[in-house]
Amino acid sequence: MNFPHRRALLCAIAVLCCTGHLWAQAEKLSKQDAARFQTKLAQIEKNAVTPRKGNAARTTQVTDVEVNSYLKFSAGSQVPVGIVDPMLHGAGNGRVTGSAIVDLDAVRKQKQRGWLDPLGYMTGRLPITATGRLATKEGVGTFTLETAAVSGVAIPKTVLQELLSYYSRTAEDPNGINMDDPFQLPARIREIRVGKATATIVQ
């Protein structure tokens, strides 16, 4: 999956993945909505390699239900091992909320922890929630974290960053994602407008 790009997905997984609790109760996820998102994704990728006719921008709107249905039924191995039930929620005006169940033991055990390190006291699989603002312009995106919590208890940004770095690292990028770094949008996407329960992709 190249959309919203492994980085953008994991950055709204800065929230380490995305809504869940309150919004999941209201959403009814389905394989049909997952298929709808897959079709829109294919169109976005097609737009990236098809010349535009004139100067008019091409837009594709996706909904929370479509994205979260895709994550539940179709994303498969695209979601890192150790992250369960990721969901995303557009709160409007560029704000993104998220949650997931995250394996904290895998991160905690990667190094020795001091008694002042919050991750030294977090064990097992716990719900992570966070809220931030996604800003995009001219093909470049930035994510600004506002709040983050584990099991409803606020955590500092450094803790969330360590989780994000761990779960986004690859052989090519062993340090993983820094949520403060600007990132290039894929598929010639110029802008992502986050509304309430929707996002509009502009190419």
Q: Give per-residue burial for 112-126: e unless 16+ CB within 10 Å, then b.
A: eeeeeeebeebeeeb
Mean pLDDT of 37-54: 89
For residue 64, give the amino acid letter. D
CA distances from 3 to 55, 157, 174, 178, 190 (A): 23, 25, 21, 18, 13
pLDDT at site 101:
92
Question: What is the structure's pLDDT at 9?
Answer: 45
pLDDT of residue 122: 84
Query: How far is residue 147 CA from its own chain's centroid?
Result: 15
The answer to which of 10-14, 34-38, 76-80 has the lowest mean pLDDT is 10-14
Task: Please give the full DSSP string across 71-83, using - where no structure is assigned.
Answer: HHHT-GGGSPTTE
* Alpha helices (runs of H) in 27-125, residue ranges in sequence order: 31-49, 64-73, 104-108
The residue whose two tokens read 């999941």 is 24
- Indicate the burial class of 170 (C-beta count within 10 angstroms; 0-12, 13-18, 19 or more): exposed
What pLDDT is stored for residue 132 in this prediction? 92
Q: pLDDT tens-digit profile of 101-125? A: 999 998 888 888 888 888 888 889 9
Looking at the predicted structure, is the pLDDT value of residue 70 above 60?
Answer: yes
pTM above 0.85, yes or no: no
Distance CA 75, CA 68 (A): 10
For residue 139, count other CB atoms closer than 10 A to its CB.
15
Annotate 14-34 with b (16+ C-beta within 10 A) or e (fewer): bbbbbbbeebbeebebeeebb
Give the pLDDT of residue 195: 92
**pLDDT, tens digit (0-9, with 9 covering 90-100), for 145-192:** 999 999 999 999 999 999 989 988 888 888 988 999 998 888 888 999
Mean pLDDT of 11-38: 59
